Structure formats: structure tokens, C-alpha cells
Amino acid sequence: MFEHRKERLIPKVAFLSRLGSYTAIALGIACGSLAIGITGYHPIGGPSWVDSLLNASMLLGGMGPVNQLHTTAGKAFASLYALYSGIVFLITTGIVIAPVLHRFLHHFHLEKE
């Protein structure tokens, strides 16, 4: 996955390619999570598709829901989705930061020849 500490630092172009692929993975996770939220909010909570998109994206971004839910099932879904969104936020942040942090640490641990 990443180069070993005894290996040379990869070229900048290869690093940017790696960073792009990791960012694409994180974006895919975020889009899939947004789709889960939209398709859960609409049938369970009852808001329109646009309001479902707004609530799901606000929860996924860490802001909180916009519209109040009036059903017990909708409130239960919103609470579970909020917990899920917090975990997804941490995971996607870690996925994007991992190549940058690895390159930074690898740069300082290279052995001088």
C-alpha cells in the first residue's frame, strides 16, 4: 500500500495520483452515505426528497438536522444516522490525510546514504 521506510520517497506525480485515488475513495464513501441518509429520511421521516437531501447532508457534514421530524421512526433513524455520520466523517478524514501524513513522516525517517 505505502512504501517501506527503507524505500525511497515516491515521486511527486505518483504521490498526487495516490492522493487523488484516496480522495476518490473518501468521496465515494461520502456519496454512498448521503444516499443512505436520503433514502432513509424520505420514507421513514416523511419529508420531501429535497428536505431529505438537506437533512442528510447537514448531518453528514456535522451541522445537525434542519427540519424537525414528527414520527418516532423518523427520530430513531435520525439519531442512528447522526451517529453513523460522525463515524463516516472521521473515517473519510483519515483516508484523505493518510497519504499526506505518511509522506511527511517518511520524509523525516529516510536514511541518509
Residue 6: inside a domain, yes or no? no
Residue 5: inside a domain, yes or no? no
Question: Which domain range does residue 73 map to?
Answer: 13-109
Residue 64: inside a domain, yes or no? yes
* pLDDT reported for residue 111: 59
113 has pLDDT over 60 = no
27-64 pLDDT, tens digit each: 999 999 999 999 988 888 778 899 889 989 988 888 87
Provide the number of structural domains found in the chain: 1
50 grid coordinates: 429535497
More confidently predicted of 81 and 62:
81
Residue 37: inside a domain, yes or no? yes
Residue 3: inside a domain, yes or no? no
Residue 67: inside a domain, yes or no? yes
65 has pLDDT over 80 = no
Residue 7: inside a domain, yes or no? no
Measuring CA to CA, how many Å separate 72 from each of 46, 76, 77? 11, 6, 9
Q: pTM here?
A: 0.80
Residue 25: inside a domain, yes or no? yes
Contact in structure between 37 and 85 (CB atoms under 8 Å) = yes
| Per-residue exposure over 64-96, b if at least 16 CB sit within 10 Å of its own CB, e if not | ebebebeeeebeebbeebeebbeebbeebeebe
The type of residue at 76 is: A
CA pseudo-torsion sign 97, 99, 102, 104: negative
